[in-house]
Amino acid sequence: MFQYEKKLQYPVRIKTPNPKYAQIIISQYGGPDGELGASLRYLSQRFSMPFAELKGLLTDIGTEELGHLEMIGAIVYQLTRNLSPEEIKKCGFDTYFVDHTTGIYPVAASGAPFTAAYLQSKGDVITDLHEDLAAEQKARTTYDNILRLVDDPDVREPIKFLREREIVHYQRFGEGLRLATDRLDEKNFYAFNPSFDKHCLQNKKGGPCDKKSDPRRT
């Protein structure tokens, strides 16, 4: 259950519309490394996490990503409000406008619509946390690229905030990975899935799993 606060995590107050900026920033709404994919990834992965701390971590970050999705939506909307037909055509926003007017729709900067193929939920704590670490770095890189292309301080400040949060999330996922590997009893924790092979998680006698308990070793 989530509790919604009727305010953005960081204020968005853009005075000058700019549809060209909107066309690139919308990638963080529905693009391959955007906030929609991040929130769905983490909120889906949390169910199979074997440790309560990791379930909580993914819930915390996943719900925060929903707040970041809201911020990106607000940025794109404010950048495209009150545009004239001439401005729409001049800035090349007409191809988006014809399908969505100025509604917020999950697409990448390339125009490709959002797809669940952008994310993975593997059900393996090690696999999923490594994906999460990579996802945060890819999002950070995308924000870096946006900042290279955007000059308006009203746009740059919330984007800089979002970039900083990606770094914090990367650090927290790193802590989560260390917690997971410290909790595993096996020397080679890549040889089993602690979310699925529960018997291996409790095995303290050396090898990853014995032949009796693991059908892969028969």
Per-residue pLDDT of the chain (218 residues; tens, 9 = 90+): 788 999 999 999 999 999 999 999 999 999 999 999 999 999 999 999 999 999 999 999 999 999 999 999 999 999 999 999 999 999 999 999 999 999 999 999 999 999 999 999 999 999 999 999 999 999 999 999 999 999 999 999 999 999 999 999 999 999 999 999 888 765 566 666 777 776 666 544 444 455 444 544 44
Gap between the Cα atoms of 48 and 8, Å rounded: 30
> 216 and 161, same structural domain?
no
For 1, 73, 78, 82, 126, the CA distances from 12, given in Å and listed in that order, are: 26, 10, 8, 17, 36
Q: Residue 13 falls within a domain, yes or no?
A: no
Backbone φ, ψ for residue 92 (5° rounding)? 75, 20
Q: Residue 10 falls within a domain, yes or no?
A: no
> 60 and 108, same structural domain?
yes
Query: How many structural domains compose the chain?
Result: 2
> 86 and 63, same structural domain?
yes
Q: Residue 90 falls within a domain, yes or no?
A: yes
- Could you tell me how many residues make up the chain? 218
Report how many helices (DSSP H) and strands (DSSP E) the chain contains, helices first.
Answer: 9, 0
Q: Residue 130 falls within a domain, yes or no?
A: yes
Gap between the Cα atoms of 3 and 215, Å rounded: 44
Domain containing residue 209:
188-218
